[in-house]
Amino acid sequence: QVHLVESGGGLVQAGGSLRLSCAASGGTFNSYAMGWFRQAPGQERELVAAMRSGGSTYYVDVVKGRFTISRDNAKNTVYLQMNSLKPEDTAVYYCAADPVYQNILVANTINYWGQGTHVTVSS
């Protein structure tokens, strides 16, 4: 059983930056694919960024060049660096982990989710 805890959300002005962290415990972190998802009010949850256990990454088009996913296997932590934030980035951001990278990409039967952290970008 993997337990995920996000942190780092908050209120920021448009154009600002935030770094989200997701600390994992209870599993073999370096063997898991990781993902960051977000859910805006009234919207479905969507994938923002994903990373294989081996380190390759995927980003949804709307965040390419602004967001960076990274992981520190020694700290069992995955990060999402968010720069040039826009009001439309406002959402609850969730961390996810799964042994199968494809499950992260298609948000299919993901094994483990965090509780979410709120990000609000003011205009």
The model's pLDDT over 34-79, given as tens digits with 9 standing for 90+, comes to: 999 999 999 999 999 999 998 999 999 999 999 999 999 999 999 9
Picking from 99, 119, 121, 94, the residue whose alpha carbon sits closest to that of residue 110 is 99
| pLDDT given at position 24 | 96
Q: In what order do the strands lie in the sheet with 67-72?
A: 3-7, 18-25, 77-82, 67-72
Q: What is the mean pLDDT of residues 68-91?
A: 97
Residue 108 pLDDT > 80, yes or no? no
Do residues 49 and 63 lie in contact, with contact meaning Cβ atoms separated by under 8 Å? yes
